[in-house]
Chain A
Amino acid sequence: MDFTTFLWTTLGAFLTLATFSFLYKDNPFYKLAEHLVVGVSAGYFMIIVWHGTMVPNLFNKLLDGDWFLLFLNSNQWWYVFPGILGVLMWTRFSRKYGWISRWPMALYIGIAAGVAVPLEMSNKVNKQLVATMVDIEWSNFFGAGIWDPFSGFANLLIFVGAISGLIYFFFSKAHTGAFGGVAKLGIWTLMIGFGASFGFTVMARISLFINRLQYLDQNWAQTAFDSTNPNYNTGFQLVFWLVVLMLLAYAVWEFIAYLRRRGEASTPE
């Protein structure tokens, strides 16, 4: 890694620590990191859309014609129409002409709804309904293990869980007796489902922290002290210690401020 790349890595490390500092309290370092993320993301998105979509999918399609004919002698002159519809979207910024933007919006929503309704119904509803009505494979009841999602046991669980879960949400009959028992099984099924989601979520959040730890150690700290790097110079360590010193200084400053606040709070009026 060369020194310039290391400076960018250091910026990444600094922003990582600045973001985590929010766990202590809101502070200027966190604010800097937050605003940078928003700004950089917006700028990056604009450039990606311009070069990756507008240029190849619109301008290049039209530019094989001549400008003076408004692209109309292009081989794909009909691309003018989506271009016009796109421009009409911008009329939203005008109070007087804002209504025009409803036309491209209506076209977009109409097409999206027309495409979405049958596909969503087929793939999110019908296929899921069918999947809860499969035969229980008694010959393969335990499959490759009790947690095999394709075993007969899993089929049985899905059947019982789906029915009891539905019964829990059936409020036209009082949840008493056997009916109430099944409804209770339904809420347990739901809770186990939520528990699984919660467990996965905990893992996901810890994963984020682990990833940052790996970055700080492997990409930043180890590089700062990696004398086998052919581009290595004392600047690597200097930058590393500078950032550490800055963070320490901030921690000390916060600690002094904390002590001062505590002293003021305990002083009798």
Chain B
Amino acid sequence: MTLFDRLMRLDRRWVFLFLAAVCIAGYYIDYSIPIRVTNEVRSIYKFIDSLPEGDIVFVAIDYDPSNQAELHPMTYAIMEHAFRNNLKVMFTALSQNGPGMADQAIRDITDSVALDRTYNGQLYEGREIKNGVDYTFLGYKPYYAIIILSMGQNFRISFPTDYYGTPLDSLPMMRGVLNYDDVACVIDLSGGNITDAWISYGQGRYNFPMALGLTGVMTAQYYPYLNSGQIFGIMGGMLGAAQYERLADNPGLAIDGMRVQLPAHIVIVLFIIIGNIGYFMSRRRQAMEGR
């Protein structure tokens, strides 16, 4: 049995083990990699950065814990950026387990914004983020397409109360805020089909500025909407999150994770090359033996 035959018959668990070892080594070795920012991420950052104080950013946290690796860092970076710029944020979570994700992010970012921090050379003094004043969390409702449509008429149709049970009209932030016309943009952070509904029933029906933060698996599929002008920006996977963190000068879990992506990708590419060489060599040998 040749080396290539052995490679073709290698137990895949050895591949898992090797890849895990490379990732763990990459995680514990202290080094950094450059993050090149793409225009589609920069446009989201610039849009939020250019909004006047008090404007409302609508963040749709449409993902479950299974997607938190890629989408949670985006949520954290955008929320911190928005709150530091004295913007107000509205949240929905139209994914089944999304409310827990949103609740966790709100608590963590509220703690973070309370501290003095310097971003891009500018000192931002800590301030208290208050529910109903600085943000409103609408929560979850089933049948996301209908919810997205109804919010275009009035947020109160689907969400008479916020996630915590307070009537929307009792929240200072929501006074005079009726529907999408009163928000500066919608940013959908999604790990599933909800993005399609936001494009068709939200942006397509009510024509508001929209950007997407997506899992890596979905990203390539949604680039056409960028060129058609239906969305003004797109963040793809952990790389997209790392780019936003870089722009906001707020390194978090995404930039930390991209260090590990590098050796992991090198190993995977090498394995693909070796696997292909093994496959073609063994096929060639079989053909020669057959002759």
A binding-site residues for B, Cβ under 8 Å: 23-24, 41, 44-45, 48-49, 52-53, 56-57, 60-61, 112, 115-116, 119-120, 122-124, 127-128, 130-131, 134, 144, 147-150, 154, 158, 193, 196-197, 200-204, 206-214, 217
Contacts and interface: CB of A to CB of B under 8 A. Distances in A.
Main secondary structure of the interface of A (DSSP, over half): helix
A44 B220 CA distance: 32
Contacts of B204: 119, 122-123, 127
Nearest 7 CB-CB pairs, A to B? A211-B69, A204-B216, A123-B204, A131-B228, A200-B216, A210-B257, A207-B238
A202 B271 CA distance: 13
Given A123-B204, A213-B24, A116 B145 contact: yes
Contact of A119 (B97, B160, B201): B201
Given A131-B229, A209-B264, 8 more contacts: A56-B165, A115-B149, A119-B204, A123-B200, A123-B204, A202-B265, A207-B261, A214-B256
A141 B229 CA distance: 18
B227 A201 contact: no
Contacts of B215: 204
Contacts of A115: 145, 149, 201
Contacts of A57: 141, 158, 160
A254 to B, nearest CB: 12
Contacts of B264: 206, 209
B213 interface: no
A127 B228 contact: yes
Given A57-B158, A123-B199, A123-B204, A203 B96 contact: no
Contact of A206 (B23, B66, B256): B23
A222 to B, nearest CB: 12
Main secondary structure of the interface of B (DSSP, over half): helix
Interface of B: 13, 16, 20, 23-24, 27, 38-40, 66, 68-70, 96-97, 99-100, 139-142, 145, 149, 158, 160-161, 163, 165, 196, 199-201, 203-205, 215-217, 219-221, 223-224, 226-230, 236-239, 253, 256-257, 260-261, 264-265, 268
A204 B217 contact: yes
A200 B220 contact: yes
Contacts of B265: 202-203, 206
B69 A208 contact: yes
Given A52-B163, A56-B160, A213-B260, A149 B223 contact: yes
Contacts of A112: 145
Given A57-B141, A210-B23, A210-B260, A149 B253 contact: no
A201 B216 contact: yes
A245 to B, nearest CB: 20
B161 A131 contact: no
Nearest to A204: B216
Contacts of B66: 208
B47 to A, nearest CB: 15
Given A119-B204, A209-B23, A210-B23, A203 B237 contact: yes
B216 A207 contact: yes
B108 to A, nearest CB: 12
Nearest to B38: A147
Contacts of A45: 96-97
Contacts of B142: 49, 53
A210 B200 contact: no
B236 to A, nearest CB: 6
A44 B65 CA distance: 13
Contact of B238 (A119, A150, A201, A210): A210
Contacts of B253: 211, 214
11 contacts: A41-B96, A122-B200, A124-B196, A124-B200, A127-B228, A149-B39, A196-B220, A200-B219, A203-B216, A204-B237, A206-B260
Contacts of A122: 200, 204
Q: Which of A144, A206, A214 has the most CB of B within 10 A?
A: A206
B29 to A, nearest CB: 13
Contacts of B228: 127-128, 130-131
A60 B196 CA distance: 31
A163 to B, nearest CB: 15
Contacts of B238: 203-204, 207, 210
Q: Which of A49, A56, A144, A197 has the most CB of B within 10 A?
A: A56
Contact of B39 (A131, A144, A200, A209): A144
